[in-house]
């Protein structure tokens, strides 16, 4: 009798867990059944659903491009196709360019009145420029995509044997570099420099 009750109890626990898993899957797929969503235990919801707002790390100063605080790199943006460039942050102002080149990187100098509550139709303005020296006009937020990027440096091994690459030569003046580049026996001169560096290289202590 005890074994029978234990089997029933195990079966109920298994069925409850199975129902919870199925309800969670339905919730993730966007089910519109309010009863299904209500009975989902909060403890089994994935942490990925707990979305937290992140602070904007972009800072803009007068007479300078906007920069990312985390990297100090200038903020750039990519114009969408068939976008216009205005002289002022006003849709009734003069149109400087009625068809800005799509996806051609520009620098951001100011961000004004941005509102991303409707992601498909953001509001606000971006003051942009082709270089970091000065802005050339304003673009609507809906016509531009922020392009946040990072500087990535990769160090590679110089290789061994036939795959070995020589180190980069640094010259103390442009004239000395030009002299070798324009020489007829430049290959021999460069080889001589590398041989000299190899023979005079400082050995590191063990």
Question: Domain-by-domain residue ranges, the chain?
Answer: 2-49, 58-147
- For residue 141, pLDDT over 70 is answered with yes
At 183-204, the pLDDT tens digits run 999 999 988 888 888 777 544 4
Cβ count near 89 (within 10 Å): 17
- For residue 107, pLDDT over 80 is answered with yes
Smallest CA-to-CA distance from 106 within 80, 77, 127 is with: 77
- For residue 74, pLDDT over 80 is answered with yes
Count of CA atoms in the C-beta half-sphere (13 A) of 168: 3
- For residue 72, pLDDT over 50 is answered with yes
Mean pLDDT of the chain: 76
Distances (CA, A) of 91 to 79, 88, 101, 118, 120: 17, 8, 19, 19, 19
- For residue 165, pLDDT over 60 is answered with yes
- For residue 63, pLDDT over 90 is answered with no
- For residue 140, pLDDT over 80 is answered with yes
**pLDDT at 28 (0 to 100):** 43
**pLDDT at 201 (0 to 100):** 56
**pLDDT at 52 (0 to 100):** 40
**pLDDT at 150 (0 to 100):** 65
CB 106 within 8 A of CB 79: yes
**pLDDT at 31 (0 to 100):** 45
């Amino acid at each position: 009798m005890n074994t029978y009750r234990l089997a029933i109890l195990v079966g109920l626990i298994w069925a409850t867990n199975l129902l919870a898993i199925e309800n969670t899957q339905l919730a993730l797929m966007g089910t519109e059944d309010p009863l299904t969503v209500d009975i989902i235990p909060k403890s089994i919801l994935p942490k990925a659903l707990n979305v937290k707002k992140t602070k904007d790390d972009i800072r803009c100063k007068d007479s300078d491009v906007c920069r990312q605080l985390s990297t100090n790199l200038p903020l750039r943006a990519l114009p969408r196709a068939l976008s216009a460039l205005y002289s002022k942050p006003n849709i009734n102002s003069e149109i400087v360019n009625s068809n800005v080149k799509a996806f051609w990187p520009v620098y951001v100098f100011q961000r004004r009145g941005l509102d991303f509550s409707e992601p498909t139709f953001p509001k606000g303005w971006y003051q942009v420029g082709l270089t970091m020296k000065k802005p050339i006009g304003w673009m609507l937020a809906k016509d531009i995509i922020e392009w946040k990027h990072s500087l990535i440096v990769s160090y590679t091994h110089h290789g061994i044997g036939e795959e070995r690459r020589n180190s980069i030569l640094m010259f103390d003046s442009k004239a000395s570099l030009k002299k070798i580049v324009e020489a007829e026996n430049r290959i021999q001169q460069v080889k001589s420099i590398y041989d000299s560096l190899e023979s005079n290289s400082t050995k590191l202590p063990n």
